């Protein structure tokens, strides 16, 4: 009878460990996706700034040529 209790408790602990492992993997995956999204946002912002800078440079060149 004690063996059944020990075996049952062992299975319970194993199940809890598997659940915690799954939660940790999900949290890590979510964090990784958040980081990827942030990197994309920063890259887009940098690209927009570079594009905007190029447009301003062109405007300055156009103004100096018209003088």
Predicted confidence (pLDDT) per residue in 7-37, tens digit: 999 999 999 999 999 999 999 999 999 999 9
CA distance 52 to 45: 10
Mean pLDDT of the chain: 88
pLDDT (0 to 100) of residue 61? 52
Q: Which residue has the higher pLDDT, 1 or 19?
A: 19
Q: Where are the alpha helices (DSSP H) in 1-67?
A: 2-66
Cα 30 to the chain's mean position, in Å? 7
What is the pLDDT, as a whole number, of residue 29? 98
Above pLDDT 70, what percent of the chain? 81
Q: What is the per-residue pLDDT for 4? A: 94
Distances in Å between the Cα of 58 and the Cα atoms of 12, 51, 54, 65 are: 69, 11, 6, 11
């Amino acid at each position: 009878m004690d063996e059944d209790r020990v075996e049952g408790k062992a299975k319970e602990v194993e199940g809890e460990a598997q659940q915690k492992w799954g939660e940790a993997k999900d949290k890590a995956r979510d964090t990784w996706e958040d980081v990827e999204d942030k990197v994309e946002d920063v890259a887009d912002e940098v690209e927009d700034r570079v594009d905007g800078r190029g447009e301003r440079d062109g405007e300055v060149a156009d103004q100096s040529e018209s003088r």
